[in-house]
Amino acid sequence: MAHIREVARKKAPNGIAYEVHWREGAKKMQKTFIVRREAERFALKVETVKDSGETTKPLVKSAQTFRAVSDDLMAASTRLKPGTVAQYRNLLDKKILPRFGALKVSTITPADVEAWIADLVKDGLAPNTIHNHYVLLNKTFRYAARHRLIAYNPAEGVELPKNERSEGFAPVFLTATQIERLATALPQPYDTLIRFAAFTGLRAAEIAGLRVRDVNFAAGHIEVRQTRKRIHGEWTSGTPKSRRSTREVPVMSRKLTAELRALKVAHPRSSDPDALFWPGTNLTTRLLDYDRTLDVGRA
């Protein structure tokens, strides 16, 4: 049976700390917390472990740093796509590891996580960006808890800033007339590209990864099967972000279909089903280059 006892501690808030006491066989065990809620959670964890018949020893102390645990998590996440791995590494390096990397994972408290969130808000990070950082932090602590490195997840239940929209805010969508006006102001093939992006709704990486084989005129649809993303300066092929994202998108405009047919006929590698459908741009000559990936951000 685990029980909590209040003790005087000069360094604790209000001069009070909380000791959790329990027995491991004939041996008396103890762990001290400065927040009562943390002590209560730990005591509950001890009871749960003891009821299962397992030893509570791994709950007492873990010498592993947060950085080591995050490295183990990344190594174990073999199903992550390269783009997701790169995103996680970026989040870790920017705001997570500088704060928690050198700390022992078992010493990090909810108060530490709350203070970190508050600092991210002060730094001006958008709520959605803070949420992305928190998700990875929480994922790391869940991994540590699953491997018995910590008694509980200190990120669980932490309040995040709300993503508030300005009063009267609403998404702005271009009308068909505005889309056509924009398209006609651009040279081929970018005019068709504008119409294609607007009327199919494909993501930028899906457009960049579109191959000759994926433009299926016989079926009258676009087959979304591949993506192309720049990761660490290198273009990498992958698959859509989820199973639902692998799909067939109908081409409902006769004009767009005719333009896509014309582009395919003019394509110098139209006989190669794996060739990228959209050309990239030679950054030196600014000419179309079918051996380069379309960079939507620079097109």
Question: pLDDT of 232-246, one tens digit each?
Answer: 788 989 888 788 889
The pLDDT of residue 81 is 85
The pLDDT of residue 90 is 93
Average pLDDT rounded to a whole number, residues 188-213: 94
Contact 159, 138 (CB under 8 A): no
**Residue 166, pLDDT above cutoff 70:** no
Tokens 């006989």 locate to: 271
Average pLDDT rounded to a whole number, residues 69-95: 91
* DSSP class per residue in the chain: --EEEEEE-TTSGGGEEEEEEEEETTEEEEEEESSHHHHHHHHHHHHHHHHTT--SHHHH----BHHHHHHHHHHH-TTS-HHHHHHHHHHIIIIIHHHHTTSBGGG--HHHHHHHHHHHHHTT--HHHHHHHHHHHHHHHHHHHHTTSSSS-TTTT------PPPTT-------HHHHHHHHHTS-TTHHHHHHHHHHH---HHHHHT-BGGGEETTTTEEEE--EEEEETTEEEEE--SSTTTSEEEE---HHHHHHHHHHHHH-TTTT-TTSBSS-EE-TTT--EETTS---TTT-
Contact 292, 280 (CB under 8 A): yes
Mean model confidence pLDDT for the chain: 87
**Residue 299, pLDDT above cutoff 90:** no
Average pLDDT rounded to a whole number, residues 272-281: 94
**Number of other CB atoms surrounding residue 220 within 10 Å:** 11
Average pLDDT rounded to a whole number, residues 82-97: 92
The pLDDT of residue 164 is 64
pLDDT tens track for 113-140: 999 999 999 999 999 999 999 999 999 9
The pLDDT of residue 262 is 95
Contact 248, 206 (CB under 8 A): no
Average pLDDT rounded to a whole number, residues 168-193: 88
Average pLDDT rounded to a whole number, residues 178-201: 93
pLDDT tens track for 32-45: 888 888 888 888 77
The pLDDT of residue 117 is 95
> What backbone phi and psi angles, to 5 degrees, belong to 124?
90, 15
Percent of residues, the chain, with pLDDT higher than 90: 52
> What backbone phi and psi angles, to 5 degrees, belong to 4?
-110, 135
